[in-house]
Amino acid sequence: MGALRRAATHHSKPVVLITNEISEAELLTAVQCRVVAVLPSAAITGQRLLNSVLTAAAGGGLMSPHLVGGLLKHIEQLRRDALTSRASSAVGFTPREVDVMRLMADGLDTAEIAVKLAYSERTVKNVIYGLKNRLGLRNRTHAVAYAIRSGWI
């Protein structure tokens, strides 16, 4: 894998890898190094190699279903981790604050937010003021931008 990493730093072309076997961790590293096709060395033929190179050059990829399955499992785990991270990034904010911020991000003004959430306008203004003050934000736009960048809305 070291040679593959070194090659990836010098070249930006897709790579066809011929190997005896590859672990899931090695496959992830290989994909990071632009490997788009993995061929088992025991089953390599000239025609198979040519097809793999042409597929890679055309922007495609070629891997056994087992390897693709492993990659898909890894992608699903990354997605779950990202969702968990996003959900936990709102920690420290009340549900009321999150609801108000989401509606502000949707473009609703104070009166519309109050009606939508069945709060008084004063309550909505207090929530917005408390958020801006606690987080050191200048205005509503800054608050929405902060919430989006932080991933809690």
Q: Annotate 106-139 with b (16+ C-beta within 10 A) or e (fewer).
A: eebebeebbeebebeeebbeebbeebbeeeebee
17 within 8 A of 39, measured Cβ to Cβ: yes
What DSSP character marks residue 94? -
pLDDT one-digit tens code per residue, 113-148: 999 999 999 999 999 999 999 889 999 999 999 888
* Residue 94 or residue 108, greater confidence: 108
pLDDT one-digit tens code per residue, 9-47: 777 788 899 998 888 888 888 888 888 889 999 989 999
pLDDT, residue 66, reads 85
Domains of the chain, CATH where assigned: 2-74 (3.40.50.2300), 95-150 (1.10.10.10)
pLDDT one-digit tens code per residue, 45-100: 999 999 999 998 998 988 888 888 888 888 888 777 766 655 545 567 888 998 99
Q: Please tell me the distance from the alpha carbon of residue 27 to that of residue 31, in angstroms, as a whole number.
A: 6
- Smallest Cα–Cα separation from 113: which of 91, 98, 94? 98
